[in-house]
Chain A
Amino acid sequence: MARDDTEPQPGELVKRHRISTRLWHWTNAIAIIVLLMSGLSIFNAHPRLYWGSYGANFDEAWLEIYSEDDRGYLEIGDWRWDTTGVLGRWTEPDGDISTRAFPHWSTIPGYYSLATGRLWHFFFGWIFVLAGLAYWFWSFGNRHVQRDLAPKRKELSLRHIWHDIKDHARLRFPTGAEALNYNILQKLSYLIVLFVLLPLIVLTGLTMSPTMNAAWPWLLDIFGGRQSARSIHFIVAFLITGFIAVHLIMVVLAGPYNEIRSMITGRFRLPKEKAPKAAPATDTPAEESA
């Protein structure tokens, strides 16, 4: 984030996240979780995915979750996994067996109701879209995107990216003032989420709408038909879930108290330099040691 002229010292409590970032982060976090879980409720109404314009029970699905002979299965192409207990066949809280695709603890509502899932999905869809658009414009306006998220030329060198990957793999996180900047893997993931995955999930969602198809028929052309859009919507939802999982793991590894505080109050305590480890220092590129 923005640095003062005097470089803050390790151990110091400094300003890290702007109010716009913090407000959007938590609004979006709630919206995304409700959207993912109510989305699974909607998926449960027809747990099959297709490519192309049409697709129903008599057509070939590329992904299917179903129950057969007292077992639950996930089938993707020619591959099939026995997912009994989790997908396709699981036990409801009252002990009854359900053969719905996704289990009660992963859906909103926790009981099967397509109409209720849709109520949650479209209400929070608006919150997600409006908050996302506001954050987009705000973050270009206050130069958050250009200053903090856009990679610098030297960061895009393969050598730098590889170095960052190794640091992540060794759970070696930046300390001192360096910790105030996003590293290149963070920048790339945030950029992909903000400008690829989130727009994709909104546009594929709109492509499933028959009214939007009449208003913006180009949506059907860019995604290859309504059922393709539905498939992409589902895939992107899982990529976003994957991002959330990695994001949460990194927060825990990087120090959850400090990280969560910085996203609530905006203040972040600069991590202190760790005692040098036995690892050889030679793998640090020259530009980094300056």
Chain B
Amino acid sequence: MAIMTNRRKLLAGLGSSVLLAGCDSWSRNERVREILASAEGLTMRAQRLITDREALAREFTLAEISPRFRANGSRTAETAQGRDYQEMLANNFADFRLQVDGLVQRPLSLSLADLRSMPSRTQITRHDCVEGWSAIGQWKGTPLSRILDLAGLRDNANYIVFHCADTYGAQNRPYYESIDLIDAFHPQTILAYDMNGDVLPEAHGAPLRARIERQLGYKHAKFVMRLEAVESFDNIYGGKGGYWEDVGDYAWYAGI
């Protein structure tokens, strides 16, 4: 501990005056933040360069599942598709319809029964939160590629936006997320309706949660109500492609 204390004193002495004061005002400076964030594009391009399009996230065995999977972010929603979320939940989302629209040839409205009757994928994967923790769980759902093939994307569609029923933060902003077509058509990208062998629980985003297995947790939108195919997400909410991207300057491509 003595060495640690010395180091701290040294760093405190050297740092607090020059470095820290500098870094804090720089941290709040828009121009500096833009320069720092420019590394995100480099990171995404580098990761995409060395990662095969179809490269799978590791899948685990039943024995490796976390004893308790922590729920994070919104644990519930107020309203869903204009109705009370709790009523829909009590009704097993019988009236729920997943809307698929935007730049598609055939807009869709799919019930949970429709989704369950489609081919499914089951995967035991690790969920990595941007905060640093990980939990392993089993997810079963409809591959997003199946839904998109059914709807038929138009040529100018570049991104898929997940519109969610939950709101977050003091301002109750609607949660949303977006991914590009590489991740949208990735074999492990599914809309999960089951978790660990049971129906997806409320705290984990019932009725549908996106699984984007090669990215961090905040990309895995919960309470998914609507898929929208878009050319760009410039005009959607804050324009950065996701809730945390808009409010917190988190990276749109959450590969690291």
Show the binding face of A for B, using Cβ within 8 Å: 33-34, 37, 42-43, 45-46, 48, 53-59, 81, 86, 104-106, 108-111, 113-116, 118-120, 122-123, 125-126, 206, 208-217, 220, 226-227, 230, 241-242, 244-245, 248
Contacts and interface: CB of A to CB of B under 8 A. Distances in A.
Chief secondary structure at chain A's binding surface = helix
14 contacts: A46-B129, A54-B64, A55-B134, A57-B133, A86-B5, A104-B20, A105-B12, A108-B20, A108-B23, A108-B27, A109-B23, A119-B33, A211-B215, A226-B126
Contact of A57 (B43, B50, B70): B70
Contacts, number: 167
Given A123-B36, A215-B50, A208 B24 contact: no
A226 B251 contact: no
A212 B256 contact: yes
A137 B194 CA distance: 51
Contacts of A119: 27, 33, 36-37, 39, 249
B134 A56 contact: yes
A227 B129 CA distance: 12
Contacts of B23: 34, 37, 108-110, 120
Q: Determine the interface band of chain B, counting residues with CB < 8 A from chain A.
A: 35 or more
A248 B10 contact: yes
A212 B55 CA distance: 10
B131 interface: yes
B151 interface: no
Contact of A211 (B10, B135, B214): B214
B31 interface: no
Contacts of B249: 115-116, 119
A244 B7 CA distance: 9
